[in-house]
Each structure stands twice: as structure tokens, then as C-alpha cells.
Structure 1
Amino acid sequence: MNFLIFPIVLSLLASPLVPEVSPLLTKTIDPTLASRADSVEMVYTDGKFSHLEYGFTEQRQPASYTPPSTVHRIAAPSLVTFGPCDRHRQTLKRTTAHSCGFIIDIASGKNLINLLPFDTLVINGSSKGKWTVALADDYLSVMEENYPIGEINEKGKISFSLDQAATHLDLKRTKYVAFILESSSGDLNVDSLDFFRTPSPPPSHVNPAMWVWDNRPAKTDASSMVSNLKALRVRRIYLQISDELEPLVPFIRESKAAGIEVFALDGSPSYLDHPEPLLRRIQLVKEFNSKYPGTPFAGFQIDIEPHLNKDFRIRLDTYGSLYIELLDRIRRITKEDLPLSTVIPFWYDSLLINDRSLAWHLFRQSDEVVIMSYRTDVAEIEAIARDELLYGERLSKKVLLGVETGRIPDEVHITFKKCLDDTPTAVEAGKAFWCRSSDYTVPGSRISFNGKEDAFKKQLTHSLPYKSFSGWVIHSYETAPR
């Protein structure tokens, strides 16, 4: 499980903890990766050099505007004509068979607007003729396309759900509302567009889930392990599996009797380039469930984490596309028979693949998503996972939030950015020149509940006010307090 936190900087260092880094940078940098990166970060844990991270700022998602309340009104919006229609004030007449109508740029030509917090669009105004209402995100607007959400052909207030649109476009990056003229002529007056969020009471408390990485106790002492899980009030585990599944039958049987679901778990960044072992393992789980219908796995969880590859930021398009393609292949195996759970860090909503966030792509292909939201403050957890919880709401997917219990050392990050060779502070490394730009630290105490047993237990009692919130996942059985 990755606990690095990108892109949030937790605290700046007044002075570097590591006195001399330039020689080490020169020694450890990869010239090939350096040629494609615009920044590098030297990461130290427990005062010792750990690794380099290569950055490429253009791969980050441009900010979208998130309205601050549960009601957002766009008053007296401007109607812009598109297509070959004749216009007289608010009246359009068709001149050809080609599509035409009005567009309202709800992004106001600036930042895209984040409509994830809203489930309903209400159009206030009047109309004559027949019109199709459609939405477009950044991707569809570039393609000069849109997604229809309903029709209007009468006066007054008309309401449309945004949930269906969420499966076809990324509502976090919405660009415009379109009114497409379907009749030979039509009038359209829009007084306002109102976006609403239906209040969602916090779900009732549910017992947590848990990751289990070492499956040997499940094979050798099933009763003791189930007893430990019951003591922790765990209602589901994600169990790392191997190709040998039959030895797990007694454990799954006892877990089921104790009311504990068992998901099979597997994942590695290497599976993006070589997915065959993972696909074979998923097929083995399906065959196991057919052979042992009384003790089946309740689902399959993948934990790929391609961001652990040191060239992830500079090969984001490649890794992202491979990830999406892999999930598509997995869904063709699991179909409706085996629920698919996907683990992602909270910041995947800030990365773009085809002008849509990587999180959006992965949510669409999963039955549930577990967010690595490793923090020790519930308000901060909600803040960093909010858009993922909203993706879950719009797409009707369950969202669980991960909490860390293992020891996490403080991390010191020393950042260099490319600069000109005549800059006084420039360091030559990897056939490029770098200037030290910022240092910051990631305190482990803000990431993990290690040594904070009372705070950890209290955390598990919290519920968040999102329909998608389905509980907490403890990382992990090996480190959780007994």
C-alpha cells in the first residue's frame, strides 16, 4: 500500500535535514528518465536516502471550479448559437438537416466546473418547439459532441438527473449545457440553471473491512485467525492469494459462519505490462467458486498501484491506458459473477487520461473502489476523498476509505526543477541541469494511527454523509492493534 501523499505538501522545512544532496543526485539519477522529466524529488526516510521520484507537471489535471454550497445557480446565462440555424433573438429556425441549437458555457470560458456534488439540474425558463438537453465535459467539447440527458417542449421548471450522465462524461470537468433543436423551429428562454444536491444522511455504522497480506495463518490456523478477526469486529477481509486456493476452504467456511466476507486480493505494478498471471488468478477464483459453491470468495480486489513505478509521472498516458485496458479485460472475466473491487490513492482524480480523470475511468469499471485515504484526522480524510465519494454517488458505486496502522517514518522530500546551465545554483545530473526549488516533510504521525489505539478506535466509529460511503478498511491485519 502506498502512503506517499501527492500532491498535498504537509509542511515545509525551515532547513534541509540532509546537508549535501547534489553528489547523490548525480550518482542516482537515471539519464533517460531525467530527459523526460521537468522535476525530480529525492526522498529520505529515517534520515536515509530512499529513492528518486520523477515529475512532469503537464500530466496534472488543471483545476476545476467546485461550487461551495449544495445549490449552485447560474442566473441569466448567455445563449450561444451553434450549427446552421437562423437566429432572431431567442428563436431558431432550421436551415439544413445538420444539428443546431444553443450552448451555455457553464465554465464561463475559464476553469471547468465540478458538478460531482450535484445530482439534479433544474432549468427555469420557457420554450416552444422541441429541444434536447445535453451536457459536455472537456473531452466531449473538444470532440464537438455531447451527451443527452432529456427533452424540453413546454414552459416552466424542468428537472433532470445528472447520475446517468456521470457514466458517459466526467462531471468533475463539465464544460457546457447544450440545447439541441429537434423541431423545425423553436424559442428558448433560460432564466437560470440550478444545480441541486439531495441531502444524504450519514450511513449507519458498519464494522470495518481489513487487508490481510500474509495468508499462511488462514491456511494453517483458520480458527485462531477467524477468532482474531471477530475480536476486531471485522465484517470483510481482502485476502492476498496465491494460485493454491483449496487450502483456504476451511478458513472461508469458518469466516462465513462468523459473518465475515472473504475477497480474494492480488496486484502489482508489473501486471500492467504482464497481466497474464493476474488474469489467470482471477479465472482460478471463478473456478474455485464453481467448485466450492458453499464457500465462495465474495469478490476479487485488485491493487495495481502503477504509481510505484519510478517513471509513472512521465509515462502517465501509457500506464493509465494500460490500466484502463486491464480493467476491461478483468471485467470480461468477472462479468456479473464476481464483484470487482479496485484500490486507488485519493489523488487519481487529479490525473488525466483522454481529458478525463484516471479515477473516473477506474470507477466506471469497478463495482466498488477503496481509497487509500491515509490520514489520522477525519475532516482531512473527507477533504481528500470527497471527489471519490462523489464519483461513487453519481455512479452508484460503493466507496470504502483506507486507514493506516503500521509504522510510517517521516519522509523528507528535496525537490529539484530543470534550469539553465548558467544558473548559479544549477547542478548537472543525468545530462541536464537542476536547481533546488523546495524541501518539505511528510510526517508519518499524520498518516498512520500507529501508537494511537484510542484515536484509531474512535476513527472507526465515524460515518461520512455520502450515499456511497460504505465503511473503513484497516491496513492491515499484520499491524492493527489487537
Structure 2
Amino acid sequence: MKALLAALLLMSSSAHAAYLHLCPADAAPKDGVQVKLADGSVLAVSSAPQLPGCRASALGVDASQVESLYPLAPGDTPARTILLYGAVGNKPFAPSSHDLPQPDRPGAVPQRRPVPLRANLLGEARVRPFGVEERVRAEHADGKLRLACGAGTRAAGVLIDGPWQLPLAELRLAARYSANGTFSLQAADEASAARETSHALGDLDAAKGAATLALPAALDRAGWRQFVLLCPSNAATLTLDALSLEPVPGKPQPRATWIWERAEWRDKPDALLAWARREAVRELFIVVPLEGARVREPDRLAAFVRRAGQAGIAVTAVEGDPHMVLPSQRAATVDRARAYAAYNRAAKPEERLRAMQFDVEPYLLDDTVLDPDLRDREYLAMAQALHAAAGGMPLEFVVPFWWWDKRALLDGLAKTSDGLAVMDYRTDPDQIVRFAVPFLDWGTRHGKGVHIALEAGRVAPELQRRYVRADADESGSLLVAQVGKTPVLVLLRQPVKTTAGTLYRLSGERTLDGSATSFHGNPERLRALLPRLERDFSAWSSFGGLALHGWRWQ
């Protein structure tokens, strides 16, 4: 009797066991939990072990336990932690994006980051004495460096380096110290270090206690290796209290903002321009109505641009739609560039747009609309077509800060654009600077202008769920499965202990309220921060000004 009961339970369990199927669209089940992939195929959960034309993988859970599927890109490999993001209040939770934090590879060299500006580098620096006479004693602690140098005739001192790279800005090395002799500072790049030489910066005069030294033009910033602090030939001591890189302010650049409502400039131009002047905004990115390859109301646009110019405000036309990246939309998108170019050719100098700007964010498209692997290629194809259509009129693109490491894409944009506006949507000043530097350096290398954009509009709250890999004796509610080459996150209705894949448990969730992304609701904090950022960023020749998104209705 017991054997019969066990067999019946096994049959019942097997009858409802979940299988993950990868099917062509025409072979997929008509109901049940499923999701469409970028290539048109469908991932579906079924209790059937096999479906005609489909590939199957057992999940090891009951089919009724599967709540939703979230496919990853081929090659994605979750490590110990999985972060999922989705709208607050959705029942069931529906992930819309994810992060897969990865541990450092054993032996991997840490990636260098931009040197923090105005920060005391001694807190994080590595200090190494050198000199064949061994006449240097160094004590490095609590963000200070103390040197005691004996007398000698051979070069001696300390090498100061860290996990940094030098930005391509106009910078000075500032030192605060006390000494009873004249020490000197130098800088070495890869080439000079290989020759066992370095570039002189200047002396630390014992009588002054502070020095601000220019970085030499011959120093290869990208190849920077270390600063060199040299002892004098006589016995001397030095206490270095702080060592920092200070940006040298350059020419002030205009502050800009986006005006997405056409009625603002078409119907209420005086109110808009008066507001812009009060907020020290000197450039407006506006949406211009078009009809094919021409501006719909050229006289109205000309009147506004002329009036704005009289108020000291430049005007740029902005376009924004992720679908513009699609090949099927290429001709219509190019027509928009032709419209602005034709308008500027016909307009009087005081009625001309400063530039055209395209805010095209292909990552907002569903994977079924454009394969993620094709996004960069199609974006560059779009940029090349727009460049040809612009006919010499300045052309700019709006890009997210996390494109900083897309070298091929940015190299391509250097050939087709006149500048970028970088959506540096963070509110922490250190993060803003850190995310801006790679693009300001890009602009300096290529002779392009770069706007750094901050968010001031409302950002919808987002729910973050954190999952960690379950231990052998733990239950979990997220299963990582694989069918074909596609890894899939399977969200379960309840925690289980056994599955056919790797199990993760929910370790916590929190609501991200947008305060790390936007200054919405805190305009005075943004107003106080703007002058500091503008001053520091002006040290880059590429800096084109700050641009504020959502600022009009604060």
C-alpha cells in the first residue's frame, strides 16, 4: 500500500513538473508563463516534458510555482549576487533591469580611475622610498607623509602613486608641508620611468609651507605612473600634510536646459526667456515642429531665436526617440537633420540655431524590437547618416554616463559628431565628477564639446531586490536555469530547497526613491552645487557647460 501511494505521489509530482522550453514563435504554447526573446523565439514554462519544435530543460520545481521569467544575455554569468529592479507596487514583481556584480578575477590588475580633484592623495597613495645610498626614512600614516633624509650625493626620495589616471584637464599639484630644507617634486610617465627619469614640477621652499605647481606639458597624462619627491643633498626633514590636484578654472561656459514642451517657446516666449535669464540659463534645447525635411513654422522659429539671441541665449533643436536608431526609421530621422540644416542655410545669422541635438537611447527599446548586440552598430550607422545630412551644421548626441567604456562607439562618434551631452544623472558631487571625467577627456582628445547634464525632474521610485546564492541547506525563490545558450532567471512564487538549477534566496529589498539620481524637490542644493561644478569642469578645454534636465518646472 505504501509503495502504491509513493508511486501515485511521484506520478502526480511528475505530471506537474516544470520544463523550460525554447520555442520558435509559431510553436510556443498559447498560454502560461512565457517571454519573447530578441530573435523572436519564445521561452515558455510547461508541465509537458517535450513540445514539438522546442528545446526543453527541466526546472525541478512544480509548474505552478513559476511566477515569471527574466532572460539574460547569452554569456551572462551570475556570481554570488543578483540585483533585480522593477516598478514599485507591481504584483507580481516584474523585473525591468538587472545588475550582476562580479568579483575581481584572481590576479586582475585594478582598473585605474580618475584622480579625485581637491582630495588629499596621501590618504590612498602608495609611498616607496628609493636611493642607492639608503638615506631616506619615510613614515606614511593618517594622510600625512614624514621624511627624514640623510646627506648624500645620489638621488633619493620617495615615489608616490595610486590606482589613478591623470585627467586631461589644466591641473596644478598643490602641497602643504613644513620642512627645514628644499625638497622638489617631479612626475614620471611610462616613457620617462623606463628611462629612470622624470619631469620637474618645482621646489618645496621651506620658508613658504605651501606650493602650487603646474603639471609639465611634456608629461603624458595617460601614461602617468607616479609623483617623485626628491630629498636635497644635505640632511633635511619634511612633513607633507596634504598633496592634491587642483583644477585651474578656464573660460566660463553657458548653462543650458531642455524645454520639451513646444508651447513654451511658441506661445509664451517672453515668459520662457525671462525665466531663463533669472536662472542664468544661456542655452535652450527646444523641440521644433517639422514636416518631413522642413521646419513647419520657420518664421516663428526665426523670431524666437532672434529674440533669444537679444537676451544672450542660444537655441539648439533637440530630437528624442529611441526608435530613430532603427534602420526602418533611418530615412525619416535623416529628414529631420536635413530640415534643420535647410532652415539654418536660409536663416539670417541672428536667426540660426546653434546646433541640432539627437537624444536617441536605443537601450530603451525592447530586445524584441532591436537585438542588444546590434545597438551600437545601428547607433553609429544613424550617426553617420545624420552627419552627412547635417551639411556642416553642428551635430550633437545625448549619451548616458555608463557608455564611458564603449570605446569603439565613442571613437565612432568622434568622427561624426561635434559634441556630446552626457546624462550624468547623479546627485553625489564626487560621483558626478567621476562619471564626467572620461567624457571630458574624450572631448579634449578629439577636440569636441561636452555638456555635462544633471537631472532635476521627478524620477519614479524603483524597487530593488537583492538575491544571494543559497547554501546547500537554504531555500530560495530565484532559480538560474539554462536552455540552449540563454541563461534565464526563473522567479518562484514560494521558496523551495531543491531545483535543477542554481538557487538564490531573497536577502532583502529596498525602494530607490530617485534622490541619488535627481535633484527634484531640492533645487537649492543644486543651485549651490552648480558654480563649483562649472568652475572645476572648466579646467577641461572640452567643457561646453552644464545642462539641466527637468529644471523648468522646479
TM-score, scaled to structure 1: 0.60
Amino acid across the alignment from 1:461:
P
Q: Any idea what the Cα deviations from partners look like across 1:273-312, whole Å, max 9, x if unmatched?
A: 1222221101011111122234121101111112223449
From 504, 522, 528, the equivalent of 1:435 is: 504
Alignment of 1:200-211 (within 5 A): 201-211=248-258
Report the CA distance between 1:261 and its aligned residue.
1.0
* Structure 2 residue 69 is the aligned partner of structure 1 residue 29: yes
Cα separation, 2, equivalents of 1:24 and 1:231: 60
Amino acid across the alignment from 1:53:
S
Alignment of 1:121-200 (within 5 A): 123-124=191-192
Q: Any idea what the Cα deviations from partners look like across 1:430-466, whole Å, max 9, x if unmatched?
A: 6865635765654412222222222121122122253
2:484 is aligned to none
Q: Any idea what the Cα deviations from partners look like across 1:81-101, whole Å, max 9, x if unmatched?
A: xxxxxxxxxxxxxxxxxxxxx
Cα separation, 2, equivalents of 1:278 and 1:317: 22
2:11 is aligned to none
CA 1:209–1:418 in 2, change beyond 3 Å: closer, same or farther?
A: same
Larger mean CA deviation between 468-477 and 265-274 belongs to: 468-477
From 295, 302, 305, the equivalent of 1:249 is: 302
Amino acid across the alignment from 2:422:
I
Alignment of 1:290-305 (within 5 A): 290-294=345-349, 295-305=351-361
CA 1:404–1:25 in 2, change beyond 3 Å: closer, same or farther?
A: farther
1:454 is aligned to 524
From 532, 542, 545, the equivalent of 1:471 is: 545
1:109 is aligned to none
Q: Any idea what the Cα deviations from partners look like across 1:255-287, whole Å, max 9, x if unmatched?
A: 122111111111222111122222110101111
Amino acid across the alignment from 1:257:
Q
Cα separation, 1, equivalents of 2:279 and 2:444: 29
Cα separation, 2, equivalents of 1:250 and 1:275: 30
Cα separation, 1, equivalents of 2:429 and 2:265: 32
Amino acid across the alignment from 2:456:
T
Q: Any idea what the Cα deviations from partners look like across 1:65-86, whole Å, max 9, x if unmatched?
A: 34859999xx9xxxxxxxxxxx
Alignment of 1:71-470 (within 5 A): 117=168, 123-124=191-192, 201-244=248-291, 245=295, 246=297, 247-273=300-326, 274-294=329-349, 295-311=351-367, 315-335=371-391, 337-350=392-405, 352=406, 356=407, 358-414=409-465, 424-425=475-476, 427=478, 435-436=504-505, 439=509, 442-462=512-532, 463-465=535-537, 466-467=539-540, 468-470=542-544
Cα separation, 2, equivalents of 1:251 and 1:25: 60
Any conservation in 2 of the 1:162–1:394 contact (CA below 8 Å)?
no
1:43 is aligned to 85
Larger Rg: 2
Amino acid across the alignment from 2:257:
M
Report the CA distance between 1:398 and its aligned residue.
1.8
Cα separation, 2, equivalents of 1:200 and 1:52: 40
TM-score, scaled to structure 2: 0.53
Report the CA distance between 1:423 and its aligned residue.
8.7
CA 1:44–1:296 in 2, change beyond 3 Å: closer, same or farther?
A: same
Aligned CA RMSD, in angstroms, stands at 4.5
Cα separation, 2, equivalents of 1:161 and 1:459: 31
Q: Mind listing any 5+ residue stretches in structure 2 that lack a counterpart?
A: 1-61, 129-162, 171-187, 196-215, 225-244, 481-487, 491-500
Higher relative contact order (CA 8 A, sep 6+): 1
CA 1:292–1:457 in 2, change beyond 3 Å: closer, same or farther?
A: same
Identity of aligned residues (%): 22
Q: Mind listing any 5+ residue stretches in structure 1 that lack a counterpart?
A: 1-21, 76-111, 128-157, 164-170, 175-197
1:52 is aligned to 96
Amino acid across the alignment from 1:64:
Q
Amino acid across the alignment from 1:474:
L
Cα separation, 2, equivalents of 1:421 and 1:291: 73
Amino acid across the alignment from 2:536:
L
